[in-house]
Structure 1
Amino acid sequence: MYSFIIFLHVISALFLGCFLAFPLAINTLFSRTSNELITSLKTILAFTRAGHYALVLIMVSGGWMVIGYSSYPSLFWVTLSTLILILIGGLIGMVNKNIKQIIFANDSKKALLENMVKLKWYGWITFLSILIAVFVMTNRSLFS
């Protein structure tokens, strides 16, 4: 059973790791025409929804490993890990909200220009948060 939980945890983490390319993907939206832009934004929107599912699976499988199979990690490590994952979920949710605003706007190009700075910031903060999460998760002994 432990191997299956590890498998789910790693697959979810790999899927979440795909968000490392998000800040670079945002830059390509300017070169799209209106129909291509809407299609690209809907694809990114579906990806953010799936990212939330991956986060839930990471939290469940990680909690299951900590409770059922761990050698008693420190409270600080568990708290820090949980807060970082909640931060990542919140940032993905803010990206999701801004993309919905762009999709449902009358002029998508104009809405993209208005929200581009926010999307870039959220993308880079998500990027850094994922890197910090990987560091914290792989170096548990530093936080004991």
Structure 2
Amino acid sequence: MYSFILFVHVVSAMFLGCFLAFPLIIHTFISRTSNELITSLKTVLAFTQAGHYALVLVMVSGGWMVIGYALYSSLFWAIGSILTLILIGGLIGMVHKNIKQIIFAEDSKKTLLENKLKLTWYGWLIFFSILIAVFLMTNRSLFS
């Protein structure tokens, strides 16, 4: 059973890794036409929804491994890991909200230009939060 839980955990974490490219692709949306822009934004919107599901799977499978298989993690490591994953979820939620606003706006291109800086900041915050989460998860022994 541990192998299956570990598999679910790693696959979900790999899906979250897709968000590492988000701050880099935001700039490509500006050059798209109206229909292409809406299609691209709907694709990113679907990824943010799936990202939340992947994040829940990461948290559940990680908690299951820590509690069920006694990996003896420190309290500092557990709190840091949980807070980092909650931060990632919140940032993905803020990206989701802004993209929804852009899709349903009268002039999507103008709304995208108004929110581009905010989306870029959120993208970079997600990027660095995921890197911090990977560091925390792969270096658990540093926190014991």
User: TM-score range, shorter-chain basis?
Assistant: over 0.9
SS in 1 for 2:78: helix
Aligned position for 1:74? 74
Structure 2: how far apart are the matches of 1:50 and 1:8? Answer: 14
Aligned position for 1:110? 110
TM-score by length of 2: 0.99
Q: What do the CA deviations read for 1:114-134 (whole angstroms, capped 9, x no partner)?
A: 100000000000000000000
Q: Shift of residue 25 of structure 1? A: 1.1
Aligned position for 1:35? 35
Aligned position for 1:19? 19
Structure 1: how far apart are the matches of 2:93 and 2:113? Answer: 19
- How many equivalent pairs are there? 144
Q: Shift of residue 72 of structure 1? A: 1.5
Q: What do the CA deviations read for 1:44-64 (whole angstroms, capped 9, x no partner)?
A: 000000000000000000000
Structure 2: how far apart are the matches of 1:121 and 1:72? Answer: 36
Q: What do the CA deviations read for 1:14-40 (whole angstroms, capped 9, x no partner)?
A: 000010001111111011000000000
* Residue 3 (1) aligns with residue 3 (2): yes
SS in 2 for 1:136: helix
Aligned position for 1:88? 88
Aligned partners of 2:41 and 2:99 also within 8 Å: yes
Aligned position for 2:122? 122
Structure 1: how far apart are the matches of 2:101 and 2:126? Answer: 19
Structure 2: how far apart are the matches of 1:122 and 1:136? Answer: 21
Partner letter of residue 69 of structure 2? Y
- Aligned-pair Cα RMSD in Å: 0.5
For structure 1, the 5+ residue unaligned runs are none
Q: What do the CA deviations read for 1:64-112 (whole angstroms, capped 9, x no partner)?
A: 0000113321011000000000000000000000000000000001000
Structure 1: how far apart are the matches of 2:98 and 2:71? Answer: 41
Aligned partners of 2:105 and 2:111 also within 8 Å: yes
For structure 2, the 5+ residue unaligned runs are none
Query: Which aligned segments of 4 or more residues in structure 1 are displaced greater than 6 angstroms?
Result: none
Structure 1: how far apart are the matches of 2:10 and 2:123? Answer: 22
